[in-house]
Structure 1
Amino acid sequence: MQTQIHTLDKAGIINELQFGNGISHAIQEGRRADFSFILSLFSDDVRDSTPVEKLTQIDTTEEALRRRFELSQPQALRSDQESYPLAATQAKLFHSSGLPSAKLCHYLKPDALTYMPEDTFNLPEDVYHNLSGHQRRQLGETESKPLIPIDLYNQLIAAQRSFQIQTQV
């Protein structure tokens, strides 16, 4: 019996066309049990019996559009470690060749819009240094602390009882 069930599961019966005349004979002869059994074997997933076309999704991310129209990278809003040498180069060009040279360098590769302090978790430096050590540590934690399970007491009692049973055996 078990192998018959697995055979029916693997058959992948989707609609009445796969049974041929079996349904019409069951209807004509009044065999309700056979008819209901055959209907129960049909797939209830609409995607099995409805033709569905696979749509290709067009990549419209900002990076893809920048590649397509050959645009340069946008100006960074915040500074990072790579911003400082670029700013130094632009300052050097300003002092040696003037404002047009510094502007040209900025237009070719723009530097960051603002230079914020680093390693302060996006807080102003005076606010970050005013935090306690515990608050700074909490800002640095990436994983959330696991919550205490609701049924902790029941788990502890069950563990104690199983330990007592093991020690008595």
Structure 2
Amino acid sequence: MAFFISLLKDWKWPCIAVGLSVFMLAAAHAFETFGNLAPCPLCLRQREVYWALIAMTLTGLALWKIVPKRRFLVALNVMIGLVFGVGVVVAFYHSGVEWGIFPPPTGCSGEGPIDPMAFRDFNEPMHVPSCTDAPFYIMGLSMAGWNGVISAFMAIISFVAAGATFRGAASDQPG
């Protein structure tokens, strides 16, 4: 358990969070490229959360290197947790659209897949995959559902990391 907590203290969790975000984006791209699963607009919205987290965290780590204050790392870990929380909300909404709980947003018409490599007349409208149709389910959850579970887990770990970094500041004090 001490090893796990040591991975969450200081600058380590923000670096792990960036790595996990890059992995999630790579996995989504692999499903798109190798699995031939074109993303719907809500799928792309879920990816934006990871891109935002990467940009925010790398900027935060760069600023922390300039002014290395522990409380800044605590705040960064809390912000990472909040961004992952936004990922949970977006994934929950997408899952709700797939299950018919929420109405799909405008632009999720489901007019068919988009082939970005196909030569076409640019005056012709593009076809967008449907946000209501999940390509597959694993243990009752779609890809959006699993993204929500992963985001929730990473949000919780981020808040635990903030606490571990904060408590690390107290234990580093002499006396």
User: Under TM normalisation by the shorter chain, which class is it?
Assistant: under 0.3
TM-score (norm. length: structure 1): 0.23
Greater fraction of residues in helix:
2
Structure 2 length-normalised TM? 0.22
Larger relative contact order (CA 8 Å, sep ≥ 6) = 2
Bigger CA radius of gyration = 1
